[in-house]
Amino acid sequence: MNTVLGLYNYWIVIFLMMTGFYVVIAQGNLVKKVIGLNIFQISVFLLYITIGKVRGGTAPILPEDVTYSPDGLPIPPQGFDGWSNPLPSVLILTAIVVGVATTAVALALIVRIGEAYGTIEEDEILALDLEE
Amino acid sequence: MRSLWAAVMLTGIYSFLGASWMLILDAPDVAFTEAAVGAGLSTVLMLSTLALTGTTMKKQATSTLLPLVVVSLTGLALIYGTADMPYFGDPTAPAHQHLMPEFMADTVPSIHEAAGHHAETGVGVDNVVTAVLASYRGYDTLGETVVILTAGIGVLLILGGEKRFSSFFADLSLRDVPSMRHRAILRVATKLLIPYILLFALYVQFHGDYGPGGGFQAGVIFAAALILYGLVFGLRATLKVAPPSVVETLVALGVLLYAGTGVATMLLGGNFLDYSVLEHPLLPGVLPHGQHLGILLVELGVGITVAAVMITIFFAFVGREHPR
Amino acid sequence: MEQHLPILQIIVPLIAAPLCLLLRQRTLVLGFAICVCWATFAMAVMLLLRVAPANGGDPGFPMATVITYQLGGWMAPWGIEYRIDILSVFVLLIVSGIGATVLTYAPLSLSREIDRDQHYLFCAAYLLCLTGLLGIAITGDLFNLFVFLEISALSSYALISLGANQSRKALTAAFQYLVMGTIGATFILIGIGLMYQMTGTLNMTDMAARLDTFGGTRTVLVTFAFLTVGISLKMALFPLHLWLPGAYAYAPSVATAFLAATATKVSVYILLRFIFTLFKPQFAFEMLNFDLGLMALAILGIFAASTIAIFQTNIKRMLAYSSVAQIGYMVLGISFATVTGLTAGIVHLLNHALIKGGLFLAMGCIALRLGSVELEDMRGIGRRMPMTMFAWVLGGLGLVGVPVTAGFISKWYLISAALEKGWWPVAALVLLSSLLALVYVWRVVETAYFDSPADPQLDVAEAPLAMLIPVYVLIGASLFFGLSTSLSANVARYAAEMLLGVTS
């Protein structure tokens, strides 16, 4: 039981990831593939953030009147036991940017494909290509 | 589900829910960014795409067995991998023991201290995420800004091609995308909102040291204000406010500001992006110095490039001729 | 400034890219970009001189050194660190050298294939791709690697899509590359997250040290799997290679030449870092018997791809399948996990880059004059474009592995490595696959020299000198390294020894 309580967050995230992954590889419509990629990536971001969470912790922003403990660490505000980890946040901020950049380029390609082929369904495009 | 429009909307909602979950998990900066980018910008871009390619899809005829198998195997592999992971929220996990204490205490023995420079230990900024993002791992953030730049250039290459550059944008101003100018409520509400949105963008830009915020979120909000203006008042009006050549110049300038700060630190004797050498106050009392100045400059660079690229992408999508 | 050489190597092309945006005037931008690329190559050479062992590396002299550079002035692992060892500098040289040569060749080819108004954007994207690839080879931080991997990937998608002027298939090829590449990148991101969770750090040397103490075995296994599958997608390792033929065939000639010679090589470099620097070879090869699986995939890839290549009519597509096969050779060398095997894999990074780069540049010349890269249209071209075809033949011989060419050196090391381990069947398979290469190379040679021209009226001149010279630079280099291996194979051997932790 302890295992489930300890790991349930990862399993939820993994389920969400696989949903996104499934949409990417199973769907034939190009926009839906991009949607699947987005869901996949957002779930990976959630994975990182759940790794960074510390039980009883608070967001790693020091209040103005912060005081420090003898070994140099800041004392968390009233009611909290510690701080959550800032590093995953930093990594995910960058990863979100990479994700939206990829989405923008993907959508631009879809617009061009739609114009060139008249369709954005993968199987129709494949058929048109084979005809050539 | 056959309606792509509905699928996009649901994705936006999923992204927003994800952002809320991130907030609960003590990551407000990320939640902020995810809400602005995932729920906001991605949805806008997908809707613009649908406007050009159609909003419904045909019935799926492809087999789903192989994808299901692949996905199940991958999922099971991941779950198998969770067996040895630290429990959720465990404060004794390696990730929280190794680098985090020094980041929080902000006292990393830095290289310039060893070299005998006068040094403030650490970064000295309240939002530790910003400290790590803009200073300790500032180089990654430069990489992130370059990624945005690459996306902007990519979209310009993909969607800006067939016509000559100057006439592409000139065509935009000729073709008047139907505006909602005649809807009085929208018009008035937008006129009231936009100044506040812009002000909020500036607030987020400069307040990132003390609370959630920073260059990226500010850039997206700024671009959102302009996009709102474009949606309500039409493309022609927006082009007068933000001429594409100016916007394209800003795209380049943001990255140059960031990289230029790094070059300046090298010329002043430190390593690339070592802000502690920026000690001499440029404008005493007005501008900070050292780490604070460095972070200010690079975040500004990020904000400028992000806003400019988002606007450029918006122009590229919206200016595309509808297939007849 | 000398101490800043590591960062300058990346910053110079990085800053040049937005400057291209500002300059906008086509000739100015092209000239500027070409100068920047050559400066980048010069810096890579300077780094080589500082890293490589003294005196050509006779035993008894100091081993190769490692240069580190702290970005932001922060000590690793709190800050990001650049770490240049002999393998990194080898890859830096390949990427910057190819980047400079191909861009010098570019102006005439670009005018034929892409709108003149977009040339300044092309240069910006090209420089960004170069920056991304160089940044991967030089960094010691795993997340930094991911960021620059995505910079190179995004710019490649845009570069490939520019082939749409010639064929709309460039768009679908770019999209498929985007989807598969992003899945690969996301897998790598998952792997990085799990690595961080287990070790608490992102610095690769730090991670490797902490992995033993903190890594739970099941999580380590899954992490390794995700990282490997992710990079295999980017590397086009069979059977995850599906994006490559389309992407190389329909991209503009300059883009194909650059990407074919660099992007997959850098992905192989990343695989080497994962297996040997992060996880230590004992883990992958002794605990998992990964070497057998890798070898099987490599051999399958070599044969499947070479066979499919034989049936292609689009010669760029044929060369693309040939690339998949050649990557199989590199991975085969890695799977031996011995010094000779690794040397084979690493030296083939250079050799294949030169050969394929030269071949695709030659195809660009043919595309310039003929407007097509179909085998049908290339009939009799050997007599009308003798210099171009001669270069092509030399490159083709390199693919087969004829002595005197660089390809021979790689195959020599591969076969030696197989024989060292007593695996005669593998050595025989390598020879057999060379026969397959001979078949698809001969097809083109026969058509080019022995068939009568499809359209005798068509006035086809030799390719312009400005384009021929870079072709011969690359092909000539491949012959040079086929004859004199002190630079290439010795450096590769140092890298192999370093990766395996062997001290001489």
At C10-33, the pLDDT tens digits run 999 999 999 999 988 888 999 999
Distance from CA of C175 to the nearest CA of A (A): 7
Q: For residues C333 and C304, is the Cβ–Cβ distance under 8 A?
A: no
Q: Percent of chain C beyond pLDDT 90?
A: 52
Cβ atoms of C437 and C397 closer than 8 Å: no
Using the Cα atoms of residue C441, residue C446, residue C447 and residue C449 in order, give the sign of their dihedral.
Answer: positive
| Contact present, C71 and B139 (Cβ < 8 Å) | yes
Among all chains, which residue has been given the structure tokens 């991304």? C132
User: In this predicted structure, what is the pLDDT of residue C330?
Assistant: 93
Q: Do A55 and B90 touch (CB under 8 A)?
A: yes
Question: Who wins on pLDDT, A2 or C232?
Answer: C232
CA distance B162 to C123: 18
- The reply to whether C150 touches chain A by the CB within 8 Å rule is yes
DSSP run (H or E) holding B287? none
Tell me what pLDDT residue C277 has: 87
- Nearest-by-Cβ selection for C115 from B110, B161, B266: B161
Answer yes or no: are the C-beta atoms of B33 and A61 closer than 8 Å. Answer: no
Which pLDDT tens digit goes with each residue over C271-281? Answer: 999 888 888 77
Q: What is the number of domains present in chain A?
A: 1
* Residue in B220, B212, B221, B216 with CA at minimum distance from that of residue B193: B221
**Which pLDDT value is given to residue A54?**
85
CB contact under 8 A, B109 and C151: no
Residue A128 clears pLDDT 90, i.e. is over it: no
Q: Please report the pLDDT score of residue B323 as a whole number.
A: 54
Q: In sequence order, what E strands does chain A have?
A: 57-58, 82-83
Tens of pLDDT, residue by residue over A44-102, are: 999 998 888 888 788 888 887 777 777 677 888 888 888 888 899 999 999 999 999 99
Q: Which residues of C touch A91 (CB under 8 A)?
A: 143, 192-193, 196, 202
What are the counts of helices (DSSP H) followed by strands (DSSP E) for chain C? 20, 2
Measured between CA atoms, the residue of chain A closest to residue C168 is A116
Q: Rounded to 5 degrees, what are φ and ψ at C361?
A: -65, -40
Nearest to C356 by CA among C88, C45, C98, C38: C98
Alpha carbon distance, N-terminus to C-terminus of chain B: 26
Residue C103 to residue C35: CA distance in whole angstroms: 10
Integer Cα distance of A125 and A116 in angstroms? 10
> Given pLDDT bands bounded at 50, 70 and 90, which one contains residue C63?
low
Using alpha carbons, list the distances in angstroms from residue C4 to A42, B271, C352.
37, 7, 31
Q: CA-to-CA distance for C481 and C48, rounded, in angstroms?
A: 17
Which of B33, B58, B158 is facing A108, going by the closest CB pair? B158
Whether C80 sits inside 8 A of B137 (CB atoms) is yes
Q: Once rounded to an integer, what is the mean pLDDT over residues C61-67?
A: 68
Nearest chain C alpha carbon to A122: C172
Q: How far apart are the C-alpha atoms of C276 and C281, rounded to whole Å?
A: 5
Asked whether the beta carbons of residue B81 and residue C219 sit closer than 8 angstroms, the reply is yes
The distance from CA B1 to its chain's CA centroid, rounded to whole angstroms, is 31
Q: Is A91 on the interface with C (CB under 8 A)?
A: yes
Indicate whether A32 belongs to any domain: yes
| Nearest CA-CA distance, residue A56 and chain B, Å | 8
Hey, CA dihedral for B174, B180, B182, B185, is it positive or negative?
A: negative
B157/C72 Cβ within 8 A: no
Alpha carbons A9 and A55: distance in angstroms, whole number: 13
Cβ atoms of C135 and C84 within 8 Å: the answer is no
pLDDT digit string, tens, across residues A16-50: 999 999 989 888 889 989 999 999 999 999 999 88
Contact pairs from chain A to chain C, CB under 8 Å: 76
Q: Residue range C411-431: average pLDDT?
A: 90
Strand partners, C314: C374
Would you call A112 and C179 a contact, using CB atoms and an 8 Å cutoff?
no
Q: What is the pLDDT of residue A10?
A: 87
Nearest to C151 among B108, B146, B158 (CB): B146
Q: Could you give the CA distance from residue C271 to residue C130 in angstroms, rounded to a whole number?
A: 19
Pick from B59-68, C3-12, C34-43: least confident: B59-68
Cβ-based neighbour number of residue A127 at 10 Å = 12
Report the 10 Å Cβ neighbour count for A26: 20
* Facing C200 at nearest CB: one of B98, B138, B140: B98
Helix, strand, coil proportions of chain C in percent (round to 5)?
Answer: 80, 5, 15
Q: Measure C297 CA to nearest chain B CA, in Å.
A: 18
What pLDDT does C495 receive?
Answer: 86
Residue C447 sits at the chain A interface (C-beta within 8 Å): no
Q: Which residue of B has its CA nearest to C16?
A: B256
Structure tokens at C90: 């080898």
Q: % helix / strand / coil in chain B, to the nearest 5?
A: 70, 0, 30
- In a mutagenesis test of the B interface, which of A92, A107, A109, A115 is the best target, namely the one with the most B β-carbons within 10 Å? A107
Of B54-58, B265-269, C93-97, C406-410, the poorest mean pLDDT is in: B54-58
Q: Measure the CA–CA gap between C146 and C131, rounded to whole angstroms.
A: 13
Q: What are the chain A neighbours of B89 within 8 Å (beta carbons)?
A: 53-57
Name which of B109, B153, B273 is nearest C75 (Cβ-Cβ): B109
Is-above-0.95 flag for pTM? Answer: no
Spell out the long-range contacts of B261-265 with Cβ–Cβ below 8 A and sequence spacing 24 or more.
Answer: B261/B294, B261/B297, B261/B298, B261/B301, B262/B142, B262/C7, B262/C11, B263/C11, B263/C15, B265/B294
Sign of CA dihedral C175, C180, C184, C190: positive
Beta bridge partners of C84: C67
B102 contacts C18? CB cut-off 8 A: no
State the residue range of the domain holding A89: 2-54+84-131
Residues 6+ apart with CB under 8 A from C130: C13, C37, C40, C95, C96, C99
Distance of CA C80 to the CA centre of its chain: 25
Q: What is the pLDDT of residue B324?
A: 41
With 0-12 / 13-18 / 19 or more C-beta atoms within 10 angstroms meaning exposed / middle / buried, residue A2 is: exposed
Question: Is the pLDDT reported for residue C173 higher than 70?
Answer: yes
CB B256 to CB C15 under 8 A?
A: yes
Question: What are B134-187's pLDDT values in tens digits?
Answer: 888 999 999 999 999 999 999 999 987 544 334 444 455 444 555 555 677 888
φ and ψ at residue B37, rounded to 5 degrees:
-85, -55
CATH number where A33 lies: 1.10.287.3510
Q: Which residue of B has its CA nearest to A6?
A: B87
Q: Cβ separation of B143 and C124 shorter than 8 Å?
A: no
Q: Give Cα A48 to chain centroid, integer Å.
A: 8
Total residues belonging to chain A:
132
| Radius of gyration (C-alpha) of chain A in whole angstroms | 22
CB under 8 Å to C473, separation ≥6 — which residues? C101
Residue C472 reports pLDDT greater than 50: yes
Average pLDDT for C131-144: 94
- State both tokens at C449: 């020299």
Q: What is the pLDDT of residues C440-449, one digit of tens each?
A: 999 999 888 8
Q: Strand pairing partners for A121? A: A29
Per-residue pLDDT, averaged over A6-22, amounts to 88
Q: Going residue by residue through chain B (324 aa), what tens digit of pLDDT does each one get?
A: 568 888 888 889 999 998 998 888 888 889 999 988 888 888 988 888 888 887 666 666 566 788 888 888 888 888 888 877 888 888 888 888 888 887 887 766 554 454 444 444 667 778 888 888 988 899 999 999 999 999 999 999 998 754 433 444 445 544 455 555 567 788 888 889 999 999 999 999 988 888 888 889 999 999 999 988 888 887 778 888 888 889 989 999 999 999 999 998 888 888 888 887 777 666 666 667 778 888 889 999 999 999 999 999 988 888 776 654
Model ipTM value:
0.93
Q: Is B75 on the interface with A (CB under 8 A)?
A: yes
